[in-house]
């Protein structure tokens, strides 16, 4: 079974802090994704990566950056957390970029106070 793990289930940070969300997948997938999930808005793509050290912006990249130094690990970085970044963050991976199943992690609920 594909397993996507996220470093924290719950995280509370203060405004202005630098926040790292880590995601690891164990299926040697080329592609990894970061989504944000908010009530009434569904899932929105923040960034994705189709190879090590490669990244592409999604629909809502502002205020976020990513890092993919190793194939199995994809990090989401909030350079200076703000209250409007309070959300559920979901990481996913897939064998191909699109048109195939994406495997999701359990999510990290981030609260910025």
Q: Is residue 17 part of the contact set for another protein (CB under 8 A)? A: no
Q: Which letter, b or e, does each residue of 21-60 get, where b requires 16 or more Cβ atoms within 10 Å of its Cβ?
A: bebbbeeebebbbbbbeeeeeebebbbbbbeeeebeebee
Shortest spacing between CB 16 and another protein, in angstroms: 29
Q: Is residue 54 part of the contact set for another protein (CB under 8 A)? A: no
Of 3 and 70, the one with the shorter C-beta distance to another protein is 3
Q: Is residue 16 part of the contact set for another protein (CB under 8 A)? A: no
Q: Is residue 61 part of the contact set for another protein (CB under 8 A)? A: no
Strands 65-70, 42-49: parallel, antiparallel or unpaired by DSSP? unpaired
CA distance 77 to 83: 15
Residues that bind another protein (CB under 8 A): 4, 40-45, 58-59, 90, 92, 97-102, 104-107
């Amino acid at each position: 079974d594909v397993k996507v793990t996220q470093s924290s289930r719950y995280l509370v940070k203060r405004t202005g802090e630098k926040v790292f969300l880590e995601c690891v997948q164990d299926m040697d997938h080329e592609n990894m994704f970061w989504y944000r999930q908010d009530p009434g808005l569904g899932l929105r793509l923040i960034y994705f990566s189709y190879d090590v050290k490669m990244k592409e912006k999604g629909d809502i990249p502002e205020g976020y950056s990513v890092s993919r130094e190793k194939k199995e690990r994809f990090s989401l970085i909030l350079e200076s957390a703000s209250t409007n970044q309070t959300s559920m963050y979901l990481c996913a991976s897939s064998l191909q970029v699109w048109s195939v199943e994406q495997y999701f992690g359990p999510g990290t609920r981030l609260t910025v106070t």
